[in-house]
Structure 1
Amino acid sequence: MWDQWWLWVGAGIILLIVEIFAPGFIFLGFGIGAFVVGVILAFGGGVLSSLPVALLVFAVCSLIAWFVMRKLAGERKGQIKIWDTDINDD
């Protein structure tokens, strides 16, 4: 069952939908990782010959996607507002 490409793509779509309701770029990385595994299985399934290899590719792609998304859309320098004074300091 793990070697069916459409299951991985379907899981990717579900994870992207979950990301809409729980933003934070966590499920987005997992969704992209699932899509990559699905595409690899669709076009060259012999590369992912066993479940541990497929899970390893999924984990590595998810981690890379998470780092890229955090770099592109994450917290920027100077984005945090630091207050030097308090409204009650008079």
Structure 2
Amino acid sequence: MWWSIWWVWIVAGFLIGVLEVLLPGYIFLGFAIGAVVTGILLGLDILVGGPAFLFLIFALCSLVAWVALRRTMGVRAGQVKRWDRDINDN
């Protein structure tokens, strides 16, 4: 079926990446990376299994990618930037 074809996972990852560009916020980027990694592992014949196993690998890869992105990009605390001084202040 479609879940065992490697290029389907990579195309899905790129489509999710496009969704991330349209709706930024580092929400879909982890899923995109997880789908591409799953496609690469399928393409290299490292993964062989049914849909439940592949979706589990996809979920784990997405979780690892999301945690790595959070560590590198940082967590937004409060989402508000406070300015102490104006650019025109001398």
Task: Please give the range of the TM-score, normalised by the shorter of the 2 chains.
Answer: 0.7 to 0.9
**After superposition, what is the alpha-carbon deviation per residue over 1:22-59, rounded to whole angstroms, capped at 9, x for unaligned?**
111111000000001100110115x3311111000000
Aligned residues: 81
Measure, in 1, the Cα distance between the counterparts of 2:76 and 2:27.
18
TM-score, length-normalised on structure 1? 0.79
- Give the corresponding residue for 2:17: 16
| Map 1:33-52 → 2, pairs under 5 A | 33-44=34-45, 47-52=47-52
Residue ranges of structure 1 left out of the alignment (5+ in a row): 84-90
Quick one: percent identity of the two aligned structures? Answer: 42
- Give the corresponding residue for 1:6: 7
Residue ranges of structure 2 left out of the alignment (5+ in a row): 84-90
When Rg is computed on C-alpha atoms for both structures, the one with the higher figure is: 1
- Alpha-carbon RMSD across the aligned residues, in angstroms, is 2.1
TM-score, length-normalised on structure 2? 0.79
Could you list the structure 1 runs, at least 4 aligned residues long, displaced by more than 2 angstroms after superposition.
74-77, 79-83
